[in-house]
Copies of this chain bind each other. A is one copy, B any other.
């Protein structure tokens, strides 16, 4: 027992989160006292999203299992059923892999499913990116995962403070910082045109000239409004009409309405200025984010990762409301006029100073060190010391 390396099972749910966990996986791989297990699920294993799991393997990692959990439908009830299905499938895989620690990042429904299965199976859970605040169902899922997790790696000081206030034991907060900062600090920032233009469809984008990066996901708690919201965004883009790289939305309830609006827009609009892209590798995504003259939409990476590069951001709608952000972010409602004005303002402002709000670029080795040193435990208990005397425990 004492000699065999500790098995850390990393759960990968989408390309963005793989990007954040990749430096951690590398750091785990480098240690003799840790053994890496990888479960890929969610959009990682869907061809519709270009099967990002292939990038994981191309990066040299062994993927122990692929879990398909999505009940197709893209409505709230199928999203709920997908959570349930995820719990069932993760329980089966944990049974087989017998990990010592399950490492989960973020707030997606697949991550919640992974956390529930682990918690009921008495597995020790380490959660990265807890304690943040946002909109969408992700907000509730994130804090529910916190309440199931045994250890925490918050990305910011505020998040760490919030975790402690929520009743998590201070000694279970392992370190602070988002590991995506590690990649952000290491990658070269030149964007070759091939990265953008080899795949996807639409206009050829010249990364040497000004361009927008656009991602718009559904806010599930506003289900039914996503079509109007993305139409407003597309309308604003059509007025500005500079080079635009448009990524498809994630798989949450409402996402197919957004995709549909994009397709309708594409069929209607002359396509000389924008390009649709399904996926980018983590590094290429960060390069593009770093190179963009403005990022427009509601991806959490615009709040978190864009700050590493000082890329101006126009944050559209409520999906990230509550998150910490730095000066590079300008928040607007999903109204065409407001979006247009904000994008024009950001374009004329230009780049912002780099921010270290979400990490200092040396986070992953600290996480790996903590994974090797922590003491796994099972029974959590709300930590509010100094409570009234008439209690047990």
A residues lining the B interface (CB < 8 Å) = 45-48, 65, 68-81, 83-92, 94-96, 109, 112-113, 116-117, 119-122, 133, 135-137, 139-141, 143-148, 158, 162, 165-167, 201, 220-223, 253, 256-257, 260, 267, 303, 315, 318, 320-327, 329, 331, 357, 378-382, 384, 387-388, 390-393
How many angstroms from the CA of A222 to the CA of B158 in the assembled complex? 34
Whether A322 and B140, one on each chain, are in contact in the complex, defined by CB atoms closer than 8 angstroms, is no
Whether A140 and B117, one on each chain, are in contact in the complex, defined by CB atoms closer than 8 angstroms, is no
Residues from chain B with Cβ under 8 Å of A117 in the complex? 80, 83-84
Instruction: Tell me the smallest distance from the CB of A305 to a CB of chain B, in Å.
Output: 16
Whether B95 and A77, one on each chain, are in contact in the complex, defined by CB atoms closer than 8 angstroms, is yes
Residues from chain B with Cβ under 8 Å of A76 in the complex? 120-122
Residues from chain B with Cβ under 8 Å of A392 in the complex? 303, 315, 320-323, 325, 329, 331
How many angstroms from the CA of A175 to the CA of B71 in the assembled complex? 38
The residue of chain B having its C-beta at the shortest distance from the C-beta of A315 within the complex is B392
| Other-chain residue from B48, B83, B113, B391 in contact with A256 (beta carbon distance below 8 A) | B48
Contact sample, A vs B, 27 pairs, CB 8 Å cutoff: A47-B74, A68-B71, A68-B73, A68-B81, A71-B71, A72-B72, A77-B92, A77-B121, A80-B120, A83-B84, A84-B84, A84-B85, A92-B92, A119-B140, A122-B137, A122-B223, A136-B379, A139-B379, A139-B382, A140-B147, A144-B147, A158-B387, A162-B384, A221-B379, A321-B392, A322-B382, A325-B390
Instruction: Tell me the smallest distance from the CB of A140 to a CB of chain B, in Å.
Output: 5
Evaluate whether A71 and B85 lie within 8 angstroms (CB atoms) in the complex, with A94-B77, A133-B382, A324-B390 already known.
yes
How many angstroms from the CA of A325 to the CA of B393 in the assembled complex? 11
Residues from chain B with Cβ under 8 Å of A303 in the complex? 392
| Other-chain residue from B79, B90, B315, B381 in contact with A321 (beta carbon distance below 8 A) | B381
Instruction: Tell me the smallest distance from the CB of A112 to a CB of chain B, in Å.
Output: 7
Instruction: Tell me the smallest distance from the CB of A121 to a CB of chain B, in Å.
Output: 4
Instruction: Tell me the smallest distance from the CB of A330 to a CB of chain B, in Å.
Output: 10
Evaluate whether A91 and B80 lie within 8 angstroms (CB atoms) in the complex, with A109-B120, A318-B393 already known.
yes
Whether B91 and A84, one on each chain, are in contact in the complex, defined by CB atoms closer than 8 angstroms, is yes
